[in-house]
Structures are given as C-alpha cells and as structure tokens.
Structure 1
Amino acid sequence: MNYQADVCIVGAGPGGALLSYLLAKNGLSVILLEQNIALGQAFRGEHLNEEGEAVLKSHQLFEAVEALGILRMEKLEYYAEGKAFKTIFPDEAVGHLGIHVPQANLLQGILQKARQFPHFSCFLHTKVTQLLKDSSGRYIGVVARKDGETIEIGSQLIIGADGRYSTIRKHAQIDIQKRKHGFDLLWAKILAPYGWEPSIKMTLIGDKQLSLFTQVGGFIQIGWNIEQGSFAQLKKQDFTPFIHQLSEAFPELADSVRTQITSWHDFVLLDVFSSLCESWGTKGIALLGDAVHTMTPTGAFGLNSALKDADCLASLLKKESLTQFDVKKFQQMRTLAIEEVLAKQLEKEQTFAANFINKAS
C-alpha cells in the first residue's frame, strides 16, 4: 500500500511527536511512524527542565500534558552516610528542580492535539526498512513494515527522530562520532515509602554516582552508575552485597529495596555514550534529538534538547519550500546550544564527586 505526505517523521518520541503537531498545525500533511506497538514503550528520559517546559507552554501544550499527570521536584539533596548534608531548593520564579512527566503522558498530551488535524496520521508497529531516492539522489520516501505488511510512504522531507540508534541515520549513511564516558547506568523502579517528598537525591557509592528521582504514581526511579562494560561480570557475582549498598546509602528505603529489588533482572542496563553528527541531514532528510546528538542521562538534558530541536525545525519548514529545505540552516541554529549541553554534561560528570568533599559530618 502506498501513502503520501508532505513530511514523514520516523520516531514518535517527544521530538517527533512535537514536530508532528507543529507541522500539522501549520497546514503540512504529516505521517508519523513508530516501530513499537504502543507509544512510550521504549525507555527515554522523563524529566522536563524549565527550557522544555517553556517550549510546551509556548505552544499551549503544557496544560494538556499536566492534566494527564506530572510531578514537580521540590528539592535536590546530597546524601552521605545515610543522611542529607546539603539541600537545594528551586528558584521561586521556576518553581521546581525538574518535572517528572511519564513518557506516555507527554506523548498522549501532544498527539491528542495533533490528531485534531485530518492531515496527520500516526502508524504504530511500523519499522522503516529502506529509504527511497529519486534520480538526482534526493531522498523521497521510505519503505516500511506495518503490522507485517510492506508499505511505501512518499514525502518531500523525511525526519529522523528515531533515537540514538537511528535507522534513518544508518540508511542515509550519515556519520556519527561517539564518545564513551567511562560508565554505564543501571535503572530500577520501586514504590516510594509513605511520606516520600517529590525530590532528587544523590550520593556516592565508592566513586560512582547513585541518584533517586521521585516519579508520578508514587514511584522512585533509581539510577546507578557502574563501570563501563562491567555489568556482564557484575551479574556473575552475588547480588546481595551490591544491593546492600543502596540500603546503606538510603536507610529509609531498606524495606522497599529488600522486597522489590530481588535480582539482577530488576535492573535495566543503559549503555552510556554521547555523540554528535558532523552533518544533521542530507538532501530530503533532517535528523533531530538523539538521532543527531545523543546525550548521556546526566542532567536530564536529552528530552529537553529534542523538544527545542523540534520547535526550531518547525519554524523553518514551509509547505511551499520543503524540497528546497537546507538542513544546514537548522544545524547552524542548534549546534552551539547542543555543544554547550554536551560540554556541561561532561563537566557535571567529572566534578560530581566534588560535591562530597566538604560534606557535613
């Protein structure tokens, strides 16, 4: 079956969803493709900072997302020896130290607005297998498998918003430079004990960062840095001494940890790296978000950078000039900000331990 749209966006994460809505609102026909069978299934960052919040508010989307459920962080605490020794509160003008927004809530809040436009379509369970070119070498569409059926989607512009392992980037043979950061990340989720306040808590286990993020629904997300490439060896060791360190660092979680994290299978591994493409696209293709500049989890910048990419790119795309779109202009508008964020992440990682040097006794 064949379809046609002004723009085909691959990847229904925050950047792809927001761009879909903004383009549809501006009168462009949009087909959004997502390889998962439901929205929000793949793990992605779930913390808005004030920049991401401002993007959503500028397009009257924040209230729709908030109605589905968000949680504002009220404080950031640094812990040592089982006790908080430093607490940071938000600037009154901002009102939070980050907002937890479940991925499904963010996507639903944005896409329910996009679906108001008859020229917007979202295809789930659809995986791109090939890119189509015209005789001049310009990309003009994709071939995909949708629910087991092969389809073609012709478009004047293809957007790769499909994450750190972008299929669009690979098929277009756009080079990417990766940087390892010396650590990987273990994620786990537990129920918060009664009275737990919306907060971010951080500590050191040896020389590695351990962070707790309160989540919507009464959960705590645990992010535990481990030595890069070490998880395969860790899993061969006894689980109990490892997890005991978490209970020692946060004694109020001891019961929750003991009953809810019972094996290595309760952790999800994230292979941590950052990356940046020298080119943000080619003829008929533009990349955004992690597809073009993968970020580490440090500081929760990835989601917010993707939203800003989408906002910027939408301002440049006009229905009457899509085939003449020059991705270099988009790249020039966003590169400096992205490079600054990547540098900030590296600095935060390298200086994290310094927060604990003069800790209160």
Structure 2
Amino acid sequence: MNINTDICIVGAGPGGALLAYLLAKQGMTVILLERHKEVFKEFRGEHLNEEGEEILKKHDLFSKIEELGLLRMETLEYWENGKLFKTIYPDPSVGHLGIHVPQAHLLNVLINEAKKYPNFTLMTGTTVKDLIQDESGSFTGVRAIQNGNEIMIHCHLTIGADGRYSTVRKKVGIDVEIRKHGYDLLWAKIPAPPDWEPSIKMALIDDMQLSLFTQAKGFIQIGWNIREGSFTELRRQPFTPFIEKLIKAFPQLEQTVKENITSWHDFVLLDVHSNFSEEWGRDGVALIGDAVHTMTPTGAFGLNSALKDADTLATLLTQHRITDLDLLSCATQRKKEIEKLQKIQIEKEQTFATQFVLYS
C-alpha cells in the first residue's frame, strides 16, 4: 500500500500527539503512527510544570484535560526517619508545585481534538521498519508494517517522536551522546491512604533519593533511586528488610505498602540515562522529545520538554513551507534550553543529599 501525506509523525506520545493536532489544525495532512495497538500502552511522564501547563492553555487544551481529571501538588516535603522537617509551598501566582495528569487523559484529549480534522489519520499497531530515500539521499517517508502488511508512507517531512530508543533516529544515522547518572530507578504505584494530601515527598535512604508523587484518582507513585546496575544483586537479597526502609521513612504508608508491594516483581526498573544530540534532523527528518534529548526523571522535565519541542516545531512549520523548513533553526531555538535543563538535573541529583544535612 502506498500513502501520500504532508507530515508523518512516528510515535503517539504527548509530543507526537500534540504536534499532530497542531499541524492538522493548520490544514496539513498528517499521519500519526503508533507501534502499540493502544496509544496508552507505553508509560510516559505524567507531571506537568508551568511550561507544559502554559503550552496546553495556549492551545485551549488544558481545560479539556482538567475535565477528565488532574491533580495539583500543594507542597514539596522533606522527611527524615518518619518525620517531616521541611515544607516548600508554591508561589501563589502559580498555585501548585507540579500537576499530575494521567497519561490517558492527556493523550485522549490531544488525539480526539486531532480527529476533528479529516486531514488527520491515526494508525496504531504500526511499526516503522525503515525510511524511504530518494536518489539525492533525502528522506521522503517511511516503510512500516501493520497487521503483517507493508505500508509505504510518502511525505514531505518525517517526525521522529518515538522515544529514547528512536527507530527514526537510528535509521537516519544520527548519533547521541549518552550520559549515565550513577543510578537506576524503581517505580511502584500504590493506593494512597485516607486523607493523603496532594504532595511530593522526599526522603534519603542509604544516601539515595526516595520520592513519592501523589497521583490523580487516589494513588501514589514511588520513585526509588538505587545504585546503577545493582538491581540483579538486590533481588537476590531478602525483600522485607528493603521494604521496611520505605515504611520507616513514611510510617503512614505501612498498611498500603504491605498490601500492595509484596515482592520485587511489584517494582518496575528504569535504566536511567540522559542523552543529547547535536543534530536534530536531516534531509526531510526532524526529531523531537526523547528521540533527540532523553531526560532523567529528576525535575519531571521530559514531558514538558517534548510539548515545548512540538509547539516550537509547529510554529516554524506555520511560518515556512515544509520543504523550506530550516531544521538547524528549529534545533538552535531548543538546544540551549535543553542543555540548561540537563545541567539543572545533574545539579539537583548531585546536591539532593544536602537538603538533609542541617536536619541530621
């Protein structure tokens, strides 16, 4: 099958979905590809900061997401040995310290808004196998597989929004500089106890960061830093002493932790690294989000940076014909911001323990 379109976006995460909506709204024909049959299958960041909130409000999307449900964080707290010793409150002009937006709510709104335009097409269960090139070497589309059938999508611009292990980036031959941060992350999700206030709570366990993020619909997400590469060794050790450290740090979680985290299998391991590429596109291909600058979970910048990439690229595509798009200009606008955010992440990680020095 051969299909022609103006834009082909690979990856229906927040960045890809927002970009698809913005470009379809501008009248371009857009095909959005997602390798999973459901766009919510793959976990992505769910915390908005002020920048992400501003972008969604700019495009009249935030109120629609709020109708489905979100949760504003009211405090940032630091705990030691089960006791709260420092609380940070939001700037009154902002009103929160981050907003939890369930991935399904965000993507539902973005894709449903895009579907209002007949020039938008969502193709799920579709895996990109290669890129199409013309005789001059420029990239002119993608070769994908859907339900065992080959699809050739010809387009003026291919957008790689397909995450940290981006197929589009690899097929173009763009290199990234990978930086390890010395830790991996264990994720877990548990029901919040009664009367749990919307907050971010931090503790220091064995000199590593433990974070609790309140979520909409009455849940808490646990982010537990462990030494890089240590999970295999950790799993050989008894589980109970490990989980007792969490309970000691936050005694109010004892019942829900014991009921919902009963083995190592209740944690999801995230290999933490950041990466950055000097090249954000090449000859008919542009990259956004984790495909070109993977962030660590620190500071919850990843989701918001992807939204900003999409907003910036959509603006440039509004101002220029697709074939005249200056990818270097697009990258230049965002590179300095991303470099600054990644430096902030490193600084936050390296200085986290100092938050507990005065207390101890």
Partner secondary structure for residue 107 of structure 2: helix
After superposition, what is the alpha-carbon deviation per residue over 1:178-232, rounded to whole angstroms, capped at 9, x for unaligned? 0000000000000001100111000000100000000011000000000001111
Distance of 1:321 and 1:193 partners within structure 2: 54
Corresponding residue number in structure 1 for 2:32: 32
Cα RMSD over matched residues? 1.0
Corresponding residue number in structure 2 for 1:134: 134
After superposition, what is the alpha-carbon deviation per residue over 1:235-277, rounded to whole angstroms, capped at 9, x for unaligned? 1111111111000100000111111001111000110001101
Size of the aligned set, in residue pairs, is 360
What is the CA-CA distance between 1:324 and the residue it aligns to? 2.3
Corresponding residue number in structure 1 for 2:245: 245
What is the CA-CA distance between 1:326 and the residue it aligns to? 2.0
Corresponding residue number in structure 1 for 2:51: 51
Distance of 1:307 and 1:133 partners within structure 2: 28
Partner secondary structure for residue 217 of structure 1: coil
Q: Match of 1:185, as an amino acid? A: L
Corresponding residue number in structure 2 for 1:147: 147
Q: Match of 1:54, as an amino acid? A: E
The normalised TM-score by structure 2 is 0.98
Q: Match of 1:233, as an amino acid? A: E
Kindly report which structure 2 residues correspond to 1:237-316, keeping only aligned pairs within 5 A, or say none.
237-316=237-316
Corresponding residue number in structure 2 for 1:6: 6
Say whether residues 1:79 and 2:87 are aligned partners: no
Q: Match of 2:64, as an amino acid? A: A
Corresponding residue number in structure 2 for 1:98: 98
Partner secondary structure for residue 36 of structure 1: coil
Retained in 2: the 8 A contact 1:78–1:85? yes
After superposition, what is the alpha-carbon deviation per residue over 1:294-344, rounded to whole angstroms, capped at 9, x for unaligned? 000000000000000100000111497212222101011111100000000
Q: Structure 1 residues 319, 338: CA separation in 2 closer, same or farther (over 3 Å shift)?
A: closer
Q: Match of 1:225, as an amino acid? A: N
Distance of 2:153 and 2:9 partners within structure 1: 11
Distance of 1:108 and 1:279 partners within structure 2: 31
Q: Match of 2:31, as an amino acid? A: I
Corresponding residue number in structure 1 for 2:167: 167
Q: Match of 2:200, as an amino acid? A: I
Q: Structure 1 residues 319, 140: CA separation in 2 closer, same or farther (over 3 Å shift)?
A: farther
Retained in 2: the 8 A contact 1:6–1:319? no
Question: Share of identical aligned residues, percent?
Answer: 61
Corresponding residue number in structure 2 for 1:41: 41
Distance of 1:149 and 1:95 partners within structure 2: 50
What is the CA-CA distance between 1:40 and the residue it aligns to? 1.9
Distance of 2:266 and 2:57 partners within structure 1: 36
Distance of 1:238 and 1:147 partners within structure 2: 44
Retained in 2: the 8 A contact 1:12–1:33? yes
Which blocks of at least 5 consecutive residues in structure 2 are unaligned?
Answer: none
Distance of 1:264 and 1:355 partners within structure 2: 29
Partner secondary structure for residue 338 of structure 2: helix
Q: Match of 1:164, as an amino acid? A: R
Distance of 1:124 and 1:81 partners within structure 2: 47
The normalised TM-score by structure 1 is 0.98
Q: Match of 1:338, as an amino acid? A: I
Q: Match of 1:329, as an amino acid? A: S
What is the CA-CA distance between 1:152 and the residue it aligns to? 1.1
Q: Match of 1:91, as an amino acid? A: D
Corresponding residue number in structure 2 for 1:203: 203
Which 10-residue stretch deviates more, 31-40 or 52-61? 31-40
Distance of 2:147 and 2:219 partners within structure 1: 34
Partner secondary structure for residue 53 of structure 2: helix
Partner secondary structure for residue 321 of structure 2: helix
Q: Match of 1:105, as an amino acid? A: H
Corresponding residue number in structure 2 for 1:325: 325
Retained in 2: the 8 A contact 1:27–1:319? no
After superposition, what is the alpha-carbon deviation per residue over 1:276-304, rounded to whole angstroms, capped at 9, x for unaligned? 01100100000000000000000000000
What is the CA-CA distance between 1:37 and the residue it aligns to? 1.3
Q: Match of 1:227, as an amino acid? A: R
Retained in 2: the 8 A contact 1:156–1:284? yes
Q: Match of 1:28, as an amino acid? A: M
Retained in 2: the 8 A contact 1:191–1:219? yes
Kindly report which structure 2 residues correspond to 1:217-232, keeping only aligned pairs within 5 A, or say none.
217-232=217-232
